[in-house]
């Protein structure tokens, strides 16, 4: 597994990280034992960065991650980098990046994960009703207290990061990024690079679209957020499925899967790709993408193919697009 230094944190992390949104209940039912096995297998493959959030199933995802990694967290804590996120009320109450709610959320996350310190704590979504100075100041206090090692943000734009950074540095950014969602390329990525901010991209597989497992007739469980998303219905789905088929042919000719191609494409532009998996087989395939190097010609051709697709949005605390 290739590794990288994650921005100003100085943390040495695997370029493919394990994300756990799919283990919080928003993606339908899953086998908990298989998910625990997948997390442990990811560690065996060299993945050392695991990302979760308080909002994923009222802390269920954090608890499952802590359970899966309990032995390693107890025996060799520094070998695993635990990242979580707060500032969203899991009861549907929306964004809350106030000092009081963040402090309570950190305490809940520490208990759920079973650790004394979170390696990377990220503000899950910018909160327009709370001054950035309050949010940043509260997190710096908890860094000073030893509850957090590093602080980042998620889903922030460049102006929001600059406002936060006026109080304390933004060390990392976690944005959505994949071939059907490239909005960060214009301003956000350049700002992150200019300021030494490590970038962990979530949804590199477009919430499953880029796995090649969907077709025009795919349907999802009622408990799966994708059942309500326009990206997975109608014309957008048809066009993007057609693009994925062409990308799959491109990938197959080079000896890898379309999922691996999509992850490798993301890694050509950011530090880390966060991938979710509910089985050991899936995380093994995703982890292998870290070893794929795409040439400039490859990237250009992938861009040409993807240009025929439809740019899509994902879920937010306010619902799904």
Question: Domain extents for the chain?
Answer: 3-208+264-292
What is the arithmetic mean of pLDDT over 258-287?
91
Q: How far apart are CA 99 and CA 209, in angstroms?
A: 37
Under DSSP, is residue 177 helix (H, G, I), strand (E, B) or coil?
coil
φ, ψ of residue 263 to 5 degrees: the values are -70, -45
**3-208+264-292: CATH number:** 3.20.20.100
What is the arithmetic mean of pLDDT over 165-176?
97
Listed residue (80, 107, 65) closest to 276, CA to CA: 65
pLDDT, tens digit (0-9, with 9 covering 90-100), for 303-313: 999 999 988 88
- Give the residue, 77 or 217, on which the prediction is more confident: 77
Split at pLDDT 50, 70, 90, the class of 79 is: very high
Which residues touch 30 (CB under 8 Å, ≥6 apart)? 22, 23, 278
For the entire predicted model, the pTM comes to: 0.92
Q: What percent of the chain has pLDDT over 70?
A: 97
Output the pLDDT for position 233: 78
Would the pLDDT of 158 be above 90? yes
Would the pLDDT of 321 be above 70? no
- Average pLDDT score, the chain: 92
Contact call for residues 85 and 55 (beta carbons, < 8 A): yes
**Active site members:** 56
pLDDT, tens digit (0-9, with 9 covering 90-100), for 91-136: 777 999 999 999 999 999 999 999 999 999 999 999 999 999 999 9
pLDDT, tens digit (0-9, with 9 covering 90-100), for 13-39: 999 999 987 776 665 667 888 889 999
Q: How far apart are CA 97 and CA 106, in angstroms?
A: 12
- Give the residue, 237 or 121, on which the prediction is more confident: 121
């Amino acid at each position: 597994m290739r590794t990288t230094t994650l921005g100003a944190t100085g943390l040495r992390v695997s370029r493919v990280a394990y994300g756990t949104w799919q283990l919080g209940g928003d993606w339908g039912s899953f086998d908990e034992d298989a998910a625990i096995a997948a997390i442990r297998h990811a560690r065996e493959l060299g993945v050392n960065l695991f990302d979760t959030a308080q909002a994923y199933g009222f802390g269920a995802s954090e608890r499952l991650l802590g359970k899966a990694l309990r032995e390693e967290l107890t025996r060799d804590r520094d070998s695993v980098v635990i990242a979580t996120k707060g500032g969203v009320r899991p009861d549907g109450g929306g964004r809350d990046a106030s000092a009081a709610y963040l402090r309570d959320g950190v305490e809940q996350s520490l208990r759920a994960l079973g650790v004394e310190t979170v390696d990377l704590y990220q503000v899950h979504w910018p909160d327009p009703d709370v001054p950035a100075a309050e949010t940043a100041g509260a997190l710096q206090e908890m860094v000073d207290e030893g509850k957090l090692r590093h602080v980042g943000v998620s889903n922030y734009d460049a102006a929001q990061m600059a406002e936060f950074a006026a109080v304390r540095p933004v060390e990392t950014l976690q944005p959505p990024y994949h071939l059907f969602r490239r909005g960060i390329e214009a301003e956000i990525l350049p700002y992150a690079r200019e300021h030494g901010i490590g970038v962990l991209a979530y949804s590199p597989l477009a919430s499953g679209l880029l796995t090649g497992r969907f077709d025009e007739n795919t349907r999802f469980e009622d408990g799966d957020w994708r059942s309500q998303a326009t990206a997975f219905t109608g014309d957008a789905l048809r066009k993007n499925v057609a693009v994925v088929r062409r990308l799959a042919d491109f990938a197959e000719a080079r000896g890898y899967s379309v999922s691996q191609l999509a992850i490798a494409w993301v890694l050509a532009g950011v530090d880390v790709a966060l991938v979710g998996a509910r089985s050991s087989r899936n995380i093994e395939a995703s982890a292998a993408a870290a070893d794929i190097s795409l040439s400039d010609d490859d990237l250009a051709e992938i861009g040409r193919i993807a240009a025929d697709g439809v740019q899509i949005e994902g879920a937010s605390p306010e619902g799904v697009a």
